[in-house]
Amino acid sequence: MHDAVIVGAGFGGMGAAVELRRLGFDDLVILEREDDLGGTWHVNRYPGLAVDIPSPTYSYSFEPNPHWSRLFAPGEELKRYAAHVAAKYDLRRSMRFGVTVTSARWEDDHWEVVAGEETFAARYLVTATGFLSMPKTPDIAGIESFRGEVVHTAAWQPTDLRGKRVAIIGTGATAVQLIPGLAREAAAVTVYQRTPIWVSPKPDYPVPAVVRKLFARLPFVQRAVRWFGSAVLELMMISGVVHYRQLRVANRLAERWCRAHLHRQVRDPGLRRKLTPDYSFGCKRPTFSNDYFRTFTQPHVSLETSSITHVDGSGIVTANGRVDIDVLVLATGFDLWDVNFPAFEVTGRDGRDLGAWWRQNRFQAYEGVTVPGFPNYLSLNSPYSYSGLSYFTTIECQMTHMRRLFTAMRARGASGFEVTRRANDEFLERMRAKVSRNSVFSLGQCATAHSYYFNQHGEATLLRPTSTIGAQRAAGRFPLSDYDFLTDTGTAGGPADRPGRSTAPRPAGNPAS
Ligand code: NAP
């Protein structure tokens, strides 16, 4: 039996593996359905791909990279960074590629993870399958009848667009990166926008060689840059969003900043109006770009805002007429709530199905990591897990949570853990109260945002509605009494948490911390 199965070899899965190794668990299996590591940075290859969070922040704090070529590094550098981390922390030997997990089941004292014909047994299960891993094909009538080339941004194939008429559906963060490049190559570009996006200028400068040398020699300088960048982002992207009630002014400033950016780049008031969101900043993920808005002022680029009625063999039809095209680019994002929570069937204690349980009882996970009824399971892409600042902040909070949890478990001579229902319920209530009392999601104008932050019940359950510092503090200090530590894995938690169960529970000593 393995110590742990980790599903996903992106940065989340690699962070969990680094932490488990530090904790002394060496027999890890990391299962990845793609043919290499890197997660989103392996899969996404569209032109213009880059981080939209400054690179010193968008990286592990314990593995700073002094070699970023720009403040916002291009996608291939992230992929190289992932390979470097895997090599340095010796993770590749645990990785199995081209393995698609279809289900996982708790079997009294361990997890059985099924991938096709193979079954992996492990004491602990970690899922790190990402939020944005299931590309969404829009449900548009006739799309399958289009005779030209159709490509989703998450399955990009190098294509010669010179002289071609290109349509792109979607104006999310991916489209914002892609559209300027498409416009440089194609003969005509039509952008089909349903919901405009808030776009801020991007301070995207090359990092001079001398600064890179300085970062390499004096890592604290890069740490200071990371700290400064994170503080600015926290103020702009988090404070005015999760603390909207208290810091509405920060939200308004962010909106004004984006409006001024649009105003500088687009002189035509009609076009500007079309590109201006009618929902509050932060209801959906904003992004950064210096050339997105300007692209729409070029004569061969059109912005179409009337709804698509259908696609036919050679073009797209809207109420405004039809446009003949050669290539259709789907920048239509990802399915989240329907297919990714969880990404495959996870069955816990007493046959509890995680997906069904989430749908019947609200989306929830204690500290965005553990779920009652699912012993020895860490679900890294859970409701309320994402800190919003940088995915790496989320990953590192989860690593801290794991460290505290496993250290306490061992100190009690235990080999298993399960979050108590009480702790989970309290956490859920606290998060829900914060969302409804403080955040832009309930106090701002989000109705027209079409944001994936909201689940199918209209609840904003993706982002953790606390400051990043609050998330970090909670990860390092959560009460250990929130867990039952199991001396004999599979033994139930406290009776109060598990009414109606007849087996006598045998939790290990569990002093409150
Ligand atoms: P997205 O934000 O979900 O955007 C999808 C776009 O497609 C939206 O404009 C959506 O319109 C449109 N769309 C979907 N279905 C449609 C339909 N049937 N008809 C018309 N339009 C349709 O997806 P994304 O742009 O791929 O970005 C996803 C996330 O990836 C981002 O929020 C960000 O977190 C991440 N990302 C990060 C980076 C980075 O550098 N770190 C770069 C790119 C992306 P509606 O809004 O009206 O639904």
Nearest to 388 by CA among 203, 240, 197, 237: 237
Q: Which amino acid does the sequence have at 429?
A: E
What is the longest distance spanned by two Cα atoms in the chain? 75
Nearest to 293 by CA among 168, 188, 187, 198: 198
**Which is the closest atom of ligand 1 to the Cα of 175?**
25
Question: How far, in Å, CA of 61 to CA of 284, rounded?
Answer: 27
Instruction: Rounding to the nearest 10 degrees, give the CA dihedral for residues 445, 451, 455, 456.
Output: 90
**Which is the closest atom of ligand 1 to the Cα of 171?**
9
Beta carbons within 8 Å of 27's beta carbon, 6+ residues apart: 2, 3, 4
401 and 382 Cβ atoms separated by less than 8 Å: no
Question: How far, in Å, CA of 180 to CA of 193, rounded?
Answer: 15
- In this predicted structure, what is the pLDDT of residue 233? 84
Whole-number Å distance, alpha carbon 144 to ligand 1 midpoint, is 21
Whole-number Å distance, alpha carbon 173 to ligand 1 midpoint, is 6
Nearest to 380 by CA among 101, 3, 11: 11
Whole-number Å distance, alpha carbon 172 to ligand 1 midpoint, is 4
**Which is the closest atom of ligand 1 to the Cα of 172?**
25
**Which is the closest atom of ligand 1 to the Cα of 50?**
40
Whole-number Å distance, alpha carbon 174 to ligand 1 midpoint, is 6
Report phi then psi at 498, rounded to 5: -130, 70
Residue nearest to atom 21 of ligand 1 (CA): 170
**Which is the closest atom of ligand 1 to the Cα of 169?**
21
59 and 229 Cβ atoms separated by less than 8 Å: no
Question: How big is the chain, counted in residues?
Answer: 513
Residue nearest to atom 12 of ligand 1 (CA): 170
Whole-number Å distance, alpha carbon 195 to ligand 1 midpoint, is 10
Which residues form the pocket of ligand 1, taking CB atoms under 6 Å from any ligand atom?
Answer: 50-53, 132, 138, 140, 169-175, 177, 192, 194-195, 285, 331-333, 450, 452
Residue nearest to atom 4 of ligand 1 (CA): 172
- In this predicted structure, what is the pLDDT of residue 240? 87
For the chain, percent helix, then strand, then coil, each to nearest 5? 35, 20, 45
- In this predicted structure, what is the pLDDT of residue 437? 95
Question: How far, in Å, CA of 36 to CA of 80, rounded?
Answer: 12
Whole-number Å distance, alpha carbon 332 to ligand 1 midpoint, is 5
Which residues on neighbouring strands pair with residue 330, listed in sequence order?
152, 169
Q: Which of 174, 179, 309 to mutate to test the pocket of ligand 1 (most atoms within 8 A of CB)?
A: 174
User: Residue 269 to residues 262, 290, 299: CA-CA distances in angstroms?
Assistant: 10, 19, 16
Whole-number Å distance, alpha carbon 317 to ligand 1 midpoint, is 21
Torsion 405-406-407-410 (CA) sign: positive
Q: Which amino acid does the sequence have at 22?
A: R
Whole-number Å distance, alpha carbon 193 to ligand 1 midpoint, is 11
* pLDDT digit string (tens) for the chain, length 513 residues: 999 999 999 999 999 999 999 999 999 999 999 999 999 999 999 999 999 889 999 999 999 999 999 999 999 999 999 999 999 999 999 999 999 999 999 999 999 999 999 999 999 999 999 989 899 999 999 999 999 999 999 999 888 999 999 999 999 999 999 999 999 999 999 999 999 999 999 999 999 999 999 999 999 999 999 999 889 888 877 888 999 999 899 899 999 999 999 999 999 999 999 999 999 999 999 999 999 999 999 999 999 999 999 999 999 999 999 999 999 999 999 999 988 899 999 999 999 999 999 999 999 999 999 999 999 999 999 999 998 788 999 999 999 999 999 999 999 999 999 999 999 999 999 999 999 999 999 999 999 999 999 999 999 999 999 999 999 999 999 999 999 998 864 453 443 333 333 333 344 444 333
Whole-number Å distance, alpha carbon 89 to ligand 1 midpoint, is 33
Residue nearest to atom 34 of ligand 1 (CA): 285
Q: Which of 332, 387, 448 to mutate to test the pocket of ligand 1 (most atoms within 8 A of CB)?
A: 332
Nearest to 194 by CA among 131, 136, 242: 136
Beta carbons within 8 Å of 426's beta carbon, 6+ residues apart: none
Whole-number Å distance, alpha carbon 178 to ligand 1 midpoint, is 12
Whole-number Å distance, alpha carbon 277 to ligand 1 midpoint, is 14
Q: Which amino acid does the sequence have at 179?
A: I
- Work out whether strand 377-379 and strand 111-115 pair parallel, antiparallel, or are unpaired: unpaired
Q: Which of 70, 72, 132, 284 to mutate to test the pocket of ligand 1 (most atoms within 8 A of CB)?
A: 132
**Which is the closest atom of ligand 1 to the Cα of 139?**
18
Whole-number Å distance, alpha carbon 138 to ligand 1 midpoint, is 11
